[in-house]
Every structure is written in C-alpha cells, then in structure tokens.
C-alpha cells in the first residue's frame, strides 16, 4: 500500500470487516471492508477501480482443507471475476513459489512443473489456475507473482515458524542438529521488495498472461 501511495496512486484497501486495520491509520487511502467470499461484496469493492493487486490469502499451518479452499481458491475466483466484470486495466495475483513443491534443481524456473505438497500450495495452485482461466475466458489482464518466503514489516507467519521450531526440538530433547556441510540455503524476499515487484508488474503490460517468480536473495541460513 505504501509503495502505491509513494507513486501517487489513489488506493482503496479492503479486508474482512473485523480485521485489524490499525496499520492503515494515518495513510491517505480509502478503507472498504468486505468479505470477498460474497460475490456482491467483491463486485462492490471493484466499482471505480482500474488496477488490482490481489494479496488476499491465508497461510496458517493448522488450517483444514475447507478453510484453505475458501481463502485461497474461492476468494481468488470471486475477485478475478469481479475485476473482469469491472473492466480493470491490470490485475496482479499473488501466488507463491510453494506451487512448485520441492523443486529440483533450486531455484526452479517459472516453467518448472507445479507439484505442490502442502494444502496451502495445492489451493494456491488451484487459485492461480482459476485466475488464468478467467484471463483466457473473460479477458482479465492478469499477471501472477510467485514470491518465495517474505519477511519484514507485519510479516508474522515466517517469524512464528522460526521461533517455534527450536522450541519444539528442545521439548523433544534434541540439543544438537546435524547440518549439511554447506548449511541450508533459503530464498527470502523483503516485504518492500515484494511490494515493488507487484507494482512493477501492475504497470508493465508485458507481464500480462505470465507467471513470474521473485526469489529475493539466495541466503545461507545460520545454524
């Protein structure tokens, strides 16, 4: 949101009516609460909008399949259909590098087969494919961004994982973990870089109809 405001865009932000919106207080933007599972509410949010960056999703490790399907597939379908009906000029959909599953080799190219091995990755893959279907069938000017692990301001999922794993291992009595000789290699992208990539795709018509990765830095993990 801050990246769009810096570039002079008028911004309409949406989230669930009961979502914590304190971080947008003081920002020069319109807040339009909506439940995107409701088609009428999704259409209302799109009225008067000409560009969309769609980030709505859930990634919580304990969610069941139905919850992942609602948040990462059905919401995507409703939002894409509403945007196509509104005639938007650009639609950037946030997918994930998790749609590849365990890639070999790493990093994987964009054309690497998608073989997700988690409920989150599976439902994000279904959502992405549905978005491309609406692109082909209804002319939605779609660009897909597949970021790797995002870190930075207001990111909670990754932080929680890294804090929880050592505690879980300690409770199991594990005091020393053998590591590969070269250590673990992970791909991380800062939230601000991810936002910049989304805005770039939104403004660049060459990305329409394409899915692009954003891997960030190739970073050895400590340990």
Give, for all 223 residues of the chain, the pLDDT tens digit. Answer: 889 999 999 999 999 999 988 888 889 999 999 999 999 999 999 999 999 999 999 988 778 999 999 999 999 999 999 999 999 999 999 999 999 988 766 677 888 899 999 999 999 999 999 999 999 999 999 999 999 888 777 776 655 556 556 656 666 777 776 665 655 566 778 888 899 999 999 999 999 999 998 655 444 333 3
Surface-to-core class of residue 119, CB atoms within 10 Å of its CB (0-12 exposed, 13-18 middle, 19+ buried): middle
Quote the pLDDT of residue 77.
98
Question: Tokens 């570039």 correspond to what residue?
Answer: 7
Alpha carbon separation from 203 to 1, 128, 134, 192, 206 (Å, rounded): 15, 20, 20, 17, 9
Bridge partners of 169, per DSSP, are none
Alpha carbon separation from 205 to 146, 201, 208, 210 (Å, rounded): 17, 7, 5, 10
Q: What is the pTM of this model?
A: 0.84
Phi, psi angle pair for 155, to nearest 5°: -90, 125
Break the chain into its structural domains and give their ranges: 2-221
Question: Tokens 């929880």 correspond to what residue?
Answer: 164
Tell me the CATH number for domain 2-221.
Answer: 3.40.50.720
What residues contact 19, with CB distance under 8 A and at least 6 apart? Answer: 33
């Amino acid at each position: 949101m801050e990246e769009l405001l810096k570039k002079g865009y008028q911004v309409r932000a949406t989230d669930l009516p009961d979502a914590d919106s304190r971080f947008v207080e003081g920002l020069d933007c319109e807040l339009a609460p909506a439940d995107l599972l409701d088609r009428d509410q999704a259409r209302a949010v799109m009225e008067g909008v000409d560009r969309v960056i769609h980030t709505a999703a859930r990634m919580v490790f304990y969610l069941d399949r139905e919850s992942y399907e609602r948040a990462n597939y059905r919401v995507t379908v409703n939002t894409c259909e509403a945007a196509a009906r509104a005639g938007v000029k650009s639609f950037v959909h946030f997918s994930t590098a998790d749609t590849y599953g365990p890639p070999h080799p790493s990093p994987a190219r964009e054309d690497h087969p998608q073989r997700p091995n988690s409920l989150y990755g599976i439902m994000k893959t279904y959502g992405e494919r549905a978005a491309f279907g609406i692109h082909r069938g209804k002319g939605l000017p779609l660009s897909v961004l597949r970021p790797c692990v995002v870190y930075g301001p207001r990111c909670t999922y990754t932080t929680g994982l890294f804090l929880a794993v050592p505690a879980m291992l300690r409770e199991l009595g594990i005091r020393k973990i053998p590591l590969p000789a070269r250590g673990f290699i992970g791909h991380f992208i800062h939230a601000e870089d991810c936002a910049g990539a989304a805005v770039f795709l939104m403004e660049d018509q060459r990305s329409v109809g394409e899915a692009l990765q954003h891997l960030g830095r190739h970073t050895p993990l400590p340990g």
